Structure 1
Amino acid sequence: MAGKEGSGMVVRYAGRLGVVASVALNLAALALYIRRRFFGGSGSGDGGGGREIATVEPSKGKPLVTPDSVVNLDHGDPTMYEAFWRETGDRATIVIPGCQTMSYFSDVGGFCWFLEPGFEREVRRLHRLVGNAVVDGYHVLVGTGSTQLFQAALYALSPATDGAPMSVVSPAPYYSSYPAVTNFLNSGLYRWAGDANTFDGDTCIELVCSPNNPDGGIRKAVIESKSGKAIHDFAYYWPQYTPITEAAGHDIMLFTVSKCTGHAGTRLGWALVKDREVAQKMIKFIELNTIGVSKDSQLRAAKILGAVCDGYETSLDGEASRLFHFARQQMMERWSKLRAAVAASDIFTLPNELSNYCTFVKETITTNPPFAWLRCEKEGVKDLEGFLREHKIITRGGTKFGVDGRFVRVSMLDTDEAFNVFMDRLASLK
């Protein structure tokens, strides 16, 4: 009897030890998960031979700028917007489960089968809010940035014949990537033909960038021929850069998330296309080029554009939630500092400041272009890009835009640190 009782006690004691051991093991596993998930440590207790759980962290982007750094203002990298979105919190955050967005198709029965319906809704909503483009009667297309849509439009507008390639032109100074992107594939359908102001051919595709990259000017089509076709690049037609004077209603209009909200890394643009056949050809190009466009990027962009609209239509946070007001204030302050520095110098000039009535903010405002079109008047300086590089300022020279080397394009959209270092160095140049 005593033996059975002792045996039972041993069993019960062993069972309790098992429970304790199980709880301890679970707690250890939880601690390991927390360490790996939130602190980035490997935490493997087997000398590194155990299987580690991979953690995914976003890239760091560009290095921090110090007073001794080389300041790279060649690209229009819109990191200025980080400050706004850092304060936005969960209103622009989206979580995509692993089982979602797996299919190629977004809307099988829709006009553009890879266009997310939610993204299309927010695009139309945003344009109606800002009033910078007509959306009724237009097809919305999505692309991997506006560059892919630009290529799709060239394909759609070029005649499918065995004749000479269609000429592609734009008034100088034109966006520096237009020639390179147009000629990159050495297509038999189209070719770069230079400055629209000097074009003397019969037919062409004209690229109308307004506000213009690089000088911020407001552009209209130069080629008035009935056989001419136009693509309107409205990447910068937003109220932080220029007064909104009308709802544009051209045949093909290109926009991009990067310069609207600052999310360049999302790599997303959209087109408003009036003609159904042209839109179908553009869709076919994107289908063959990349088999559609990232659905994950579209979902994120829809959330971001929705947050922008909510900031004006439903938010109670006032100015703090209004993207265009934030960005316009930033641009105004930067342009004020730059114009003061240039006015105090003896060697630099800028285009004249322009103003107009803006239907979005309901007042007369000045233009604040995303790029400064800087000209050097110093005798002997014919290569301003090289001159500034010697002072650790990287810009993009005028020859890339179809004009002479006394001009450079300078990004106004970088971080405060980069802009302030640029201002200090510019002020020191005589």
Structure 2
Amino acid sequence: MAAMGGGGGKDGGGGMAAQAGRLGVVASVAFNLAALAFYLRRRYFGGDDAAAARKKAEAEVAPSSGKPPVTKDSIINLDHGDPMMYEAFWRGGAGERATIVIPGWQTMSYFSDVGSLCWFLEPGLEREVRRLHRLVGNAVADGYHVLVGTGSTQLFQAALYALSPPGPSAPMNVVSPAPYYSSYPAVTDFLKSGLYRWAGDAKMFDGDTYVELVCSPSNPDGGIREAVLKSGDGVAVHDLAYYWPQYTPITSAAAHDIMLFTVSKCTGHAGTRLGWALVKDRAVAQKMSKFIELNTIGVSKDSQLRAAKILKAITDGYDRAAGAAAAGDDDDDSSGRLFHFARRKMVSRWAKLRAAVAASGIFTLPDELPGHCTFANETVSAYPPFAWLRCGKEGVDDLEGYLRERKIISRGGGKFGADGRVVRISMLDTDEAFAIFVDRLAAMN
């Protein structure tokens, strides 16, 4: 210390003063920066700590839907099955666990697994798909090929391509029992392909060569379906988009030749545009994969990585709940259990809808369909994602138009191969839109 301080009397004292001055400046700057940060926190986040401030900021972010907020005077559009009901679940703690960051260098290659039959399928997504089906028990995944598509619509088109006969021949007939999903005819005939064509109601079909589309639970009426046609050279494609425990009892693990699923109706992430197929026959799976390769050169890896993280968050949530139960914690917290959250929502909404129908007196709905659910391990009723609403009022032959005059947009029965006195109503929109809808419905008489 003496050696360091004895370099020069006055000069040493001046150096120490200068150093002290610099330290004072630094301290002053640090204090001012801290004060500025404190002010900004107070100004924009009300003095909350960092985590609470971030949470508050996130809560103020606009909803993920591009639709405007609804008011009592708004037109309520329930034509589409836009699954905004799920947003509340993912804005909670589950959303943190499903968040993914993709570095700029990741997912650059076309290829995910060059040695796989479906070379553009991310291994992590395949793993989580199989894991989720084992959890829910709604489909057999072991022994099946997993394919990924841009929504189940692309996989539906891929299945038609794969099942069409080779060589010059008449187009394959595509049928489905009425009321059938309204997009089946449009998607089948959109490209005017010489390989296949829409042939209408399966119950009215008389032929030997066909693809039967079996949507179960049914869109639009929620009924459980089996293949209608049993003879000839036909094959069935099972659309199981709604075979999840929030909508219907899981009575057994489906094990059909071709089964289609979609992220949108399972988790609510319609904008991710992702579906998957479980395909038993390798040759059919190869042809379906080839169609997707030629159609879009695979499927977005970014969407696949996000979907894999979402599916993992769902399964992990149930694993945590099972671990807590095993440890003696009986808390029925469903913050991490998607199917429990969605099931409670559907039960509540269907109760309100049935009350509104009863109050009106001019509408009817299909009867409830109870069954033993292996996932819930109890007998439960079906609460479909769509309501098949019929009107018995004299003079109302166009229910879609009747509701439109009252600012409710629905999808008319004619688009499903049914009559005009029935419409399909989405049960999956926001709480605000659904509340206005049931209030208006109850006032009609």
Give TM class, smaller chain. 0.7 to 0.9
| 2:348 aligned with 1:333 | yes
Tell me the TM-score normalized by structure 2: 0.84
AA matched with 2:126:
E
AA matched with 1:220:
E
| Counterpart position of 1:92 | 98
Deviation, structure 1 residue 74: 0.1
The answer to whether the Cα contact below 8 Å between 2:413 and 2:422 also exists between their aligned partners in 1 is: yes
Deviation, structure 1 residue 161: 2.2
| Counterpart position of 2:175 | 169
Greater Cα offset, 136-145 or 219-228: 219-228
AA matched with 1:97:
P
Distance 1:404 1:258 in 2: 28
| 2:361 aligned with 1:346 | yes
Out of 216, 219, 225, the position equivalent to 1:219 is 225
| Counterpart position of 1:147 | 153
Deviation, structure 1 residue 89: 3.7
Out of 182, 187, 200, the position equivalent to 1:181 is 187
Out of 70, 76, 82, the position equivalent to 1:71 is 76
Q: Percent identity?
A: 78
| Counterpart position of 2:142 | 136
| Counterpart position of 1:373 | 388
Number of residue pairs matched by the alignment: 391
Deviation, structure 1 residue 60: 5.1
Deviation, structure 1 residue 344: 2.4
| 2:67 aligned with 1:62 | yes
Match of 1:246, SS state, is coil
Match of 2:425, SS state, is strand
AA matched with 1:231:
V
Tell me the TM-score normalized by structure 1: 0.87
| Counterpart position of 2:111 | 105
AA matched with 2:189:
N
| Counterpart position of 1:47 | none
Q: Which runs of 5+ in 1 are unaligned?
A: 1-11, 40-56
AA matched with 1:358:
C
Equivalence map 1:265-414=2 (5 Å): 265-315=271-321, 318-414=333-429
| Counterpart position of 2:48 | none
Greater Cα offset, 340-349 or 204-213: 340-349
| Counterpart position of 2:7 | none
Match of 1:297, SS state, is helix
| 2:96 aligned with 1:81 | no
Superposed CA deviations along residues 247-273 of structure 1, whole A, max 9, x for unmatched, are 000000000000000000000000000
Superposed CA deviations along residues 160-198 of structure 1, whole A, max 9, x for unmatched, are 221110000000000000000000000000000000000
Match of 1:98, SS state, is coil
Distance 2:63 2:394 in 1: 47
Deviation, structure 1 residue 347: 1.0
Equivalence map 1:7-26=2 (5 Å): none
The answer to whether the Cα contact below 8 Å between 2:217 and 2:243 also exists between their aligned partners in 1 is: yes
AA matched with 2:197:
R
Deviation, structure 1 residue 203: 1.2
Equivalence map 1:194-273=2 (5 Å): 194-273=200-279
| Counterpart position of 1:6 | none
AA matched with 1:410:
I
Greater Cα offset, 105-114 or 338-347: 338-347
Q: Given the superposition, is the C-alpha separation of residues 142 and 310 from structure 1 closer, same or farther in structure 2, using an over 3 Å criterion?
A: same
Deviation, structure 1 residue 59: 5.9
| Counterpart position of 1:3 | none
The answer to whether the Cα contact below 8 Å between 2:65 and 2:84 also exists between their aligned partners in 1 is: no
The answer to whether the Cα contact below 8 Å between 2:89 and 2:95 also exists between their aligned partners in 1 is: no
| Counterpart position of 2:12 | none
| Counterpart position of 1:424 | 439
Match of 2:335, SS state, is helix
Distance 1:386 1:301 in 2: 38
Q: Which runs of 5+ in 2 are unaligned?
A: 1-17, 46-61, 325-330
